[in-house]
Amino acid sequence: MRQPLTRKSKVGDVLQHPLGRDMLFRLSLQTGVAFSLIDNAFVRALPLTILKYVGGGVIDLHFIDAFLTLLNSEKATPQPEDNVVRPAWWKEAVIYQIYPSSFHDSNGDGLGDLAGITEKIPYLQTLGIDCIWLSPIFGSPFDDQGYDIADYKNIAERFGTLDDFTKLLETAHASGIKVVLDLVFNHTSDEHPWFVEALRDPSSDKRDYYFFREGETAPNNWTSFFSGSAWNHYPAQNVWALHLFSEKQMDLNWDNAKVRGELAGIASFWLDRGVDGFRLDVINYVSKAAGLPDGNPGIGKLIGFTGIEHYVLGPHLHEYLHALSKKAFLPKDAFTIGETPGVGREMGKLLTDPERAELNLVMSFDHLETPGHDRFDDYAYDLEWYKQYRIAQSGHVGGRYWQPLFFDNHDNPRMISKVDPEPRTQPQLGMLLNALLLTGQGTPMLYQGQELGMVNADFKSIEELRDVESLNMWQERVVEKGEDPKGVWQKIVAGTRDHARIPMIWDDTPYNGFSSVTPWLWTAHNETPNAEQQCQDSHSVLSFTTKLLHLRKKHTTLIYGRERFVKAKRKGYYGLYREGEESFFVEANLTRNGMKRPHRMQGALLLSNYGAPDARLRPYEVNIYRCEGSLD
C-alpha cells in the first residue's frame, strides 16, 4: 500500500507516484518549464509546495490540495514493462482514420457517405493499411460532426443505411481490412430519446441517465471545452444539465448502472454485426467526482478548463472500464483504443495492462504541441520535441505495454503545416513524418490524406468554417466580448479542427473527385497533388508511403524489434536502430536545413525520400537501411 501524499510530501514523492509523475510532466508541458528542471535530485528533495514557483502564480495551497486529492484517489501502481512480446493483430496493423463526411461522396449531396468509402476500399488495400477507424457514423444532429449521437444503433441518414454499413464491412473484410467504430459514450446528443424523455419527465428513470440539478445558479463552476459554462439551463423546467462539450452534448451519468448496461449493449450490438473494435471517445472523462464539486480556479487557469481535476481520471474509471470490457469487449475479443486527453505515460500503463483488462491502447496527445504551446498558438513545431518524447517512451513499451503512433487526426491541424509552412519542402516533410510513424515501435495511425501529404486549408474567414469549437470561440470572444476580430481569427486559423476536415483530394475534377457539388466544407485553394496524380508518380508522398507500409508488413522487426536511438543529443538528428531477428537503421534530418551526418550510414538502403543518400543529410531527409553484421 502506498502512503497517501500530503502537503508535507516532497517533489520526489510525487514523482514516484504514477499519477504524480504524469501530472508534473503535464505541468511542465503546460508552463513550458523543462521537465528536467522538476525531475532532478535537487528539486526532488524539496517540499511539494515549491511548485508554487512553477505555475506562473496560479499554484496556491488550494491548488495543491486539489492536486493531492486527485493523486490519492489512484491506489494502483503500474507493473514494470517486461519486454515480453505479446503478439496481437492490432500491434501489427496500421490503422487508417476516415472522417466519413470528408472522404468520398457517392450520391452528390456534398457530404461523404458509406457507399463512398466502400468504393475506395481498393485504394486503401493498395495503400496497404490493415484497419479503418471510422469517425462516428450514427444517427446525429451533427452539432459536433456526429460526436453528438442521437441513435447509437442506426446509421446517420446522410451516410446511408445499415445495409450500406454491412456492405462496407463485408467489402473491407474481404480485402483483409478490419473495421473499428468510434463510440461516443461520455455524452449523447440532447436529441437522444433518453435526454428528451429525461428533460420532459422528472419522474422518468432516464432522469438519472444524465446530470440534472436544480437551483438558482449553475451547480458548479465547470467550464465547457467549447466555450462558456458546462451547464445548460432549461427555464421551462427550471433545471440545469451538464455538458462538458457543446450545449447539445449531454454528459451521461456512468454512476447509474443502467447507463453502463445500455452502453455495453450498444457495443455488443455492433460486435454482433462483425465490427473488430472501437475507438472510445474521451473515455477517461466518464467517471465524475461525487457531488460534482467546484473546480480549483488555479487549475482551471493553467489548463484552460475549470473542473477538469474532477473527471480527467475519475474515482471509478478503472472499475467501469474493466466491467465494460468483461461484459462487451473480451467475449468478442474486440480491440479497444481509448481517446484519453490528459492521460500520461504511467496512467496509460494502468489503463492498458492486459492483466487489468480495461483497454488495449490509449491515445495521449502530449507529443502534439511543444512545451508551453497549445493548439491555437501560431508557432513552428520543432520535431526535436517529438524525438525526445519518443526516446522517453522507449523502454516503456514493447511487451506488457504498447503505444499508438500518430500525428494527424480530425481534431488537429495538419502536422506538416505545423512544422513548416514552406511548400517546397512539404512533400519531403510529409514522407519523413510518415516514415517516423511507420518505422516506430507501436501501432501507426494515419489520418486520411496523410498518405498524400495534405496540408492545412487556406481559410480566409470564419464563414468558411463549420466546426462548433471554432464557431463558439468566435461567438464568445468577438461577438459577445468584443475582442479584436483579427487577433481571434489568427488563433482560430492556427488551431481550427476544420483544417483536417477539408475533403479528400482524389482527382482533378472540379471538387477534387470528392463530390459533384460544392462540399459541406470547402476552400478552392489546395496545392497538394491529388491521389490520381500521386499514383502515377513514383516519387510522390503516396508512393513513398505505400512502399513504407509494405516494408513494415514484410519485416516483423519493424513492428516488434527493440528501439535504440543513437546520437540522441544531436539536435534535429534522428537515428534509430530497430533490432530483432533482423536489424534496421533509420536516419533522418528533422530540420529544414542541411546537416552533417553525426552517425555513419548503416547497411543497405531500402528506402529514401530523396532517392539516394548524399554526403550530407538534406532538409527533412529520411533513409531506411537494412543492417548486416555488427552494429555501432
| Residues recognised as catalytic | 281, 339
Position among 74, 164, 411, 420 found at the interface with ligand ISL (CB under 6 A): 411
Q: Which is nearer to ligand ISL, 435 or 468 (CB)?
A: 468
Instruction: Answer yes or no whether residue 405 interacts with ligand ISL by CB under 6 A.
Output: no
Q: Which is nearer to ligand ISL, 13 or 281 (CB)?
A: 281
| Interface pattern 306-335 for ligand ISL (x via CB under 6 A) | ------------------------------
| Interface pattern 158-187 for ligand ISL (x via CB under 6 A) | --------------------------x---
How far apart CA 591 and CA 384 sit, in angstroms, is 9
Q: Which is nearer to ligand ISL, 412 or 528 (CB)?
A: 412
Instruction: Answer yes or no whether residue 74 interacts with ligand ISL by CB under 6 A.
Output: no
Instruction: Answer yes or no whether residue 283 interacts with ligand ISL by CB under 6 A.
Output: no
Position among 147, 159, 165, 386 found at the interface with ligand ISL (CB under 6 A): 147
Q: Which is nearer to ligand ISL, 225 or 311 (CB)?
A: 225
How far apart CA 361 and CA 611 sit, in angstroms, is 35
Instruction: Answer yes or no whether residue 245 interacts with ligand ISL by CB under 6 A.
Output: yes
Helices (H), 381-458: 383-393, 415-419, 426-438
Q: Which is nearer to ligand ISL, 133 or 584 (CB)?
A: 133
The residues facing 607 across adjacent strands are 624
Backbone angles phi, psi at 29, to 5 degrees: -65, -45
Residue 518, judged by CB atoms within 10 A of its CB (0-12, 13-18, 19+), counts as exposed
The residues facing 436 across adjacent strands are none
**What is the enclosing helix (H) or strand (E) of 29?**
helix 18-31
Q: Which is nearer to ligand ISL, 195 or 560 (CB)?
A: 195
- Residue showing cell 489568427: 490
How far apart CA 491 and CA 93 sit, in angstroms, is 36
Instruction: Answer yes or no whether residue 144 interacts with ligand ISL by CB under 6 A.
Output: yes
Minimum CB–partner distance for residue 69 and ligand ISL (Å) = 23
Instruction: Answer yes or no whether residue 281 interacts with ligand ISL by CB under 6 A.
Output: yes
Minimum CB–partner distance for residue 448 and ligand ISL (Å) = 14
Instruction: Answer yes or no whether residue 282 interacts with ligand ISL by CB under 6 A.
Output: yes
* Number of other residues whose CB lies within 10 A of the CB of residue 61: 10
Residues 184-203 that bind ligand ISL (CB under 6 A): 184
Minimum CB–partner distance for residue 375 and ligand ISL (Å) = 7
- Residue showing cell 468558411: 464
Cβ contact 148:467 at 8 Å: no
Minimum CB–partner distance for residue 196 and ligand ISL (Å) = 19
Q: Using alpha carbons, select from 28, 339, 288 the residue that is nearest to residue 14.
A: 28
Minimum CB–partner distance for residue 546 and ligand ISL (Å) = 27
How far apart CA 42 and CA 45 sit, in angstroms, is 6
- The count of residues interacting with ligand ISL (CB under 6 A) is 12
Q: Which is nearer to ligand ISL, 54 or 313 (CB)?
A: 313
Minimum CB–partner distance for residue 483 and ligand ISL (Å) = 18
Minimal CB distance residue for ligand ISL: 147
Instruction: Answer yes or no whether residue 222 interacts with ligand ISL by CB under 6 A.
Output: no
Q: Which is nearer to ligand ISL, 281 or 621 (CB)?
A: 281
Instruction: Answer yes or no whether residue 25 interacts with ligand ISL by CB under 6 A.
Output: no
Cβ contact 380:420 at 8 Å: yes
Contacts of 558 (CB under 8 A, 6+ apart): 438, 439, 551, 552, 578, 584
b/e burial code for range 270-290 (CB count within 10 A of at least 16 → b) = bbeeebbbbbbbbbbbbbbbe
Contacts of 298 (CB under 8 A, 6+ apart): 55, 58, 59, 60, 62, 63
Position among 103, 165, 225, 385 found at the interface with ligand ISL (CB under 6 A): 225
How far apart CA 348 and CA 268 sit, in angstroms, is 25
- The single-letter code of the amino acid at 375 is R
- Give the footprint of ligand ISL on this chain (CB under 6 A): 144, 147, 184, 225, 245, 281-282, 339, 341, 410-411, 469
